[in-house]
Amino acid sequence: MTSAADGPRGITSVLVANRGEIARRIFRTARSLGLATVAVHSTADARMPFVGEADAAVELPGNTPGETYLRAELIVEAAVRAGVDAVHPGYGFLSENAGFAQAVIDAGLTWIGPPVDAISSMGSKIEAKKLMAAAGVPVLAELTPAEVSAVDLPVLVKASAGGGGRGMRVVTRLEDLAAEIDAASAEALSAFGDGTVFCERYLAAGHHVEVQIMADQHGTIWAVGERECSVQRRHQKVVEEAPSPLVERIPSMRPELYEAARKAAAAINYVGAGTVEFLADDAGRFYFLEMNTRLQVEHPVTEETTGLDLVELQFAVAAGERLPADPPPTVGHAIEVRLYAEDPANDWQPRTGRLHAFGVGARHLSGTKSARGGEIVPESRSTPRLRVDSGVEDGSEVSPYYDAMLAKVIVWAPARASAAARLAAELERARIHGVGTNRDLLTWILRHPAFLAGDTDTGFFDKHGVGEPPTDDVVRVSALAAALADAAARQARTSLRVASGWRNLPSQPQRKSYRVGDVVHQVEYRLTRDGLVAEGNARLVESTPTRVVLEVDGVRRVFEVAAYDGLTCVDSSLGSISLTPVERFTDPARQVAAGSLVAPMPGTVIRVGVRIGDKVTQGQPLLWLEAMKMEHMIAAPVDGVVGELTVEAGQQVEVGAVLAVVGEDA
């Protein structure tokens, strides 16, 4: 292939029809090739980092994906107006839309993706499975909803179009099948514009194993290593790694897996980067799930273990260049985690708002070189290295309109255990303030004995839960540090030279309350001639408005404290704690009636299942919200009667809005 410095022939500029971290990722490679870059963005995304990093940007007026990133005609018009040569779709949105690909080509632009026919053939999972079966690729038998019987259970209801866990339902009881099919169909119609669903046998403890494909226009098809992505929530991946622990245990599986993936690509004359996904059991038997005709979210783990730049290869293949006969070998192990703005302990509800601070490691791609430059192995074969592909930075606003992923954090190391240890440590040391995330869950997974043993099937969370919240001791000492930092800040704002709360004679202690989740923690302390008097045998060594040093039971720790409007974040070696200061006097206007159901996030009401006057039981679903590409059920908090219903289907609501009230009587 030609040198990376030459750039793909005929391409001098590219528009990325996407947002967030994948847009930044593609821009990075485009810049290294000397290509000009153009971003498209919604109104809500106008100040996001990816917009500022592009050489030029075109606004797509509106906020929701349906108004913006899913409008093929607007994006093609933007590409023509900006004068680019090519369009890269990234992943999600229109990346697997054959009509969009054809529109790009019809506009005289280079499509950085597979042929339109290949996209079409894989666009329907039902038809894709028939094609794969004919090509000799193992498949799970498709079941039409009408033919499912008790002996087939459990079954998985799946959307024929799209992916990402949307339109999926696991059914374990035959009497639930009809309702789950209706729900899956409605979700699929909303997400993909196609409500077609089908059923297949469900492997409750399967392994999600996939093969990275890269194919050129001259018949060469690479199987570029496999990945395992079995740790999932709501059928969406959370942890991805290469190589697969399952395949490593069963070496004979790898050549069969690669051969099946190459057959799948050859069957549809595939060109470009793609992924063939399989579901495997513990014995190594595997079955075709789907083929993603695009770059995957988890492509960095393949890049980190091979030294390839898959985006660079996408540009090269689109320009007609040939691949070498064989891909580079895999070296070491890479693990990627998806850092989401969500609350795993509260049904994975997404979180929105201002990201005051975001600092994870070095935040750059390091240690890999282009395969076309001749170097295909890591710069160091022994030193773990960190990579962060992020869509956010300090001050970014996390909106309710898009996916809740903030960043992908990846570590490469010579061995799997060292990769997991380094990644967990980097996450633990990260500085993330302002929006709740799944960071603690990720570190818990990476240190879990089952994960370290490679026991990572799709039932991981069902078996092991989602970790434990911080202990009361950790919260209390972090709250004490926050209170002392606040006292130091108040002292710094006055001319007094004595600490806040200091008294000449014994007096009442200083009190400050903080909320963590639904629990209020009250801190009591006194600053005397002899030092700090507080619960927990703590000794104050030093305090400033941003840094408190405490010695507890003979162990000295540093607590970094950051105070924002209505939020205090404390980072220490014990963990990161987000505290909400509790006001001494509550504004009556902010109180809501007992039994009120409030919106946990901004979103759209997509379904209402009750009417005023209906009797309901605790936990009964009352209505459903859609936010950040996920559907969330709102349930009755107690037994009672629906006394108020303030929303209807299609209505937009803000976080904290009262949706309904359940009382003892109507």
Q: What is the CATH number of the domain that holds 141?
A: 3.30.1490.20
User: Does some domain include residue 245?
Assistant: yes
User: Does some domain include residue 533?
Assistant: yes
* Banded model confidence at residue 261, pLDDT cuts 50, 70, 90: very high
In whole angstroms, what is the distance from residue 554 CA to residue 540 CA?
12
In whole angstroms, what is the distance from residue 486 CA to residue 545 CA?
6
| Catalytic residue positions, numbered | 294
User: Does some domain include residue 120?
Assistant: no
The mean pLDDT value for 262-287 works out to 97
Containing domain of residue 523, as a range? 472-581
Residues 452 and 482 in one domain: no
Residues 459 and 476 in one domain: no
In whole angstroms, what is the distance from residue 341 CA to residue 364 CA?
21
Question: What pLDDT is recorded for position 493?
Answer: 80
Q: Which two tokens stand for residue 434?
A: 């302002």
Question: What pLDDT is recorded for position 571?
Answer: 97
User: Does some domain include residue 121?
Assistant: no
Residues 226 and 314 in one domain: yes
DSSP 383: S
Rounded to the nearest 5°, which phi and psi values hold at 225?
75, 160
Residues 232 and 155 in one domain: no
Tell me the H-state helices in 299-341. Answer: 299-306, 310-318
* The residue type at 257: L
The lowest-confidence range among 162-166, 240-244, 393-397, 476-480 is 162-166
Are 581 and 514 a contacting pair, CB within 8 Å? yes
Question: What pLDDT is recorded for position 145?
Answer: 83
Question: What pLDDT is recorded for position 573?
Answer: 95
Q: How many CB atoms lie within 10 A of CB 617?
A: 11
**pTM for the complete prediction?**
0.87
* Banded model confidence at residue 592, pLDDT cuts 50, 70, 90: low
- pLDDT above 70 for 212: yes
Residues 174 and 66 in one domain: no
Residues 540 and 448 in one domain: no
- pLDDT above 50 for 276: yes
* 553 conformational bin, left if phi > 0, alpha if psi -120 to 50, beta if neither: left
Question: What pLDDT is recorded for position 655?
Answer: 75
CATH number of residue 15's parent domain: 3.40.50.20
For 437-481, how does the pLDDT look when each residue is reduced to its tens digit (9 = 90+)? Answer: 999 999 999 999 999 999 999 999 999 999 999 999 999 999 999
Comparing CA positions, the residue from 118, 126, 297, 121 lying closest to residue 221 is 118
| DSSP helix/strand/coil, 486 | helix
Question: What pLDDT is recorded for position 5?
Answer: 40
Residues 631 and 594 in one domain: yes
Comparing CA positions, the residue from 144, 289, 138 lying closest to residue 203 is 289
Structural domains counted in the chain: 5
User: Does some domain include residue 119?
Assistant: no
The lowest-confidence range among 113-122, 331-340, 472-481, 618-627 is 618-627
User: Does some domain include residue 117?
Assistant: no
Residues 499 and 621 in one domain: no
CATH number of residue 595's parent domain: 2.40.50.100
Residues 274 and 390 in one domain: yes
Encode 212-232 in three state secondary structure.
EEEECCCCCEEEEEEEEEEEE
Residues 136 and 237 in one domain: no
Whole-number Cα distances in Å, 615 to 30, 31, 449, 618, 660: 59, 61, 45, 10, 13
Strands 155-159 and 169-171, bridge-based pairing: antiparallel
- pLDDT above 80 for 623: yes
Half-sphere exposure (Cβ direction) of 334: Cα atoms closer than 13 Å? 29
The mean pLDDT value for 172-183 works out to 89
Residues 609 and 557 in one domain: no
Question: What pLDDT is recorded for position 202?
Answer: 83
In whole angstroms, what is the distance from residue 335 CA to residue 340 CA?
16
* Banded model confidence at residue 253, pLDDT cuts 50, 70, 90: very high
Are 327 and 223 a contacting pair, CB within 8 Å? yes
Q: Higher model confidence: residue 41 or residue 508?
A: 41
Residues 311 and 241 in one domain: yes
Mean pLDDT score across all residues of the chain? 89
Tell me the H-state helices in 368-438. Answer: 416-429
